[in-house]
Amino acid sequence: MTVTDAAGPAIDGELPTGKTRDALRAAHLYYLQDLTMDAIAKELHTSRSSVSRLLSHARATGLVEISIHSPLDLPSRLEQEILERHEVSAHVVPVPDHASDVDRLERVALSAARILSRFIDSNQTIGVAWGSTMSAMSRHLAPKATHNSEVVQLNGAGNLRTTGILYASELLRRFGDAFGARVQQFPVPAFFDDPATKQAFWRERSTRRMLDLQAAMDVAIFGIGSPFAEVPSHVYQGGYLERADYQSLSRDGVVGDVATVFYRADGSTDGIEMNARGTGPDFGTLRRAPRRICVVSGRAKLPSLTGALAAGLVTDLIIDEGTARGLVGEA
């Protein structure tokens, strides 16, 4: 079933009742996050029968149609503030503050997967970066038939332990299957040992074809890599970086990465040594994509998210409620 907030404007100048606001939240948890009514009852501090009545109220009054975006509750206010401060369209996912980062990631990834289909259409080139967030998201994608679409891998996945082909191909296959799109893999290491090797490889025609596809992206989908998160970003725990690499990132003031391209708190990438060996698209290429969807969960990623916003990488942000509050300076 699909869901939308169809509450519309207030009637005769009156605000929607508390029951309407509760019904919107219950619908989000039930239809977009797949929580059981028992789990929703616990989260809303009410009974299972009350949750059932709230969901019935949501359906009967037309609140449930395609998607949820409440105009009057706290998440909507946060979305408006993020838009005003950062010029980014945000979708704030309700997650209780006591949730673990693992549960928070899963719930944000599930909501992002359900939301994504509204941004995907036929005749598109869809760039996907691998990582912990994208992997979680790929497991919950809702099918949407398209034609003449391509899913393109944004950065190489090989390292000294693995070729990365199985990991990246499974993630990309899920996106391809969900949207009926061709999958274009990028079979290169995440980082070359020598920048000169990368430069030579980038001159190869087969590589140029992939780089041209990336440059023609209509939609880019990515998470934020962070060395600070409780749930480690894949690049920081999958054997991609050695001690000398971490030392280099520290010297260069790195706060995070997008598709294994590292950046500082101000969004700058110039002079960061690791980027000369990395295989992700430079930020100029990424910014050319008309729609750039960033999925983030956990306050530990705030420094990384702030840097990505400063770099102008994000047009659409899917973020948990607690991290959204931190982004706008609330406790």
Summarised one tens digit per residue, pLDDT across range 33-82 is 888 888 999 989 999 889 988 988 887 666 775 445 455 555 688 999 99
Entry pTM = 0.78
Tokens of 108: 């944000």
d(CA 281, CA 301): 21
Q: Are strands 254-258 and 261-264 parallel, antiparallel or unpaired?
A: antiparallel
**Residue 324 one-letter amino acid:** A
Query: How close are the terminal C-alpha atoms of the chain, in Å?
Result: 35
Q: What is residue 229's predicted lDDT score, i.e. its pLDDT? A: 63
Q: What is residue 85's predicted lDDT score, i.e. its pLDDT? A: 94
d(CA 67, CA 236): 34
Q: Under CATH, which number does the domain 1-68 receive?
A: 1.10.10.60
* Domain 74-328, classified CATH 3.40.630.30, yes or no: no
The helix/strand/coil state of 296 is strand
Contact 292, 217 (CB under 8 A): no
Mark residue 312 as left, alpha or beta (left: phi above 0; alpha: psi -120 to 50; beta: remaining). left
Residues of the chain with CATH 3.40.50.1360: 74-328
Q: Kindly give the parts of the chain with pLDDT less than 70.
A: 1-17, 60-62, 65-75, 160, 163-164, 228-233, 237-238, 331
Q: What DSSP line would sit under 256-275, residue for residue?
A: EEETTEEEETTS--TT-GGG
Residues of the chain with CATH 1.10.10.60: 1-68
The helix/strand/coil state of 125 is strand
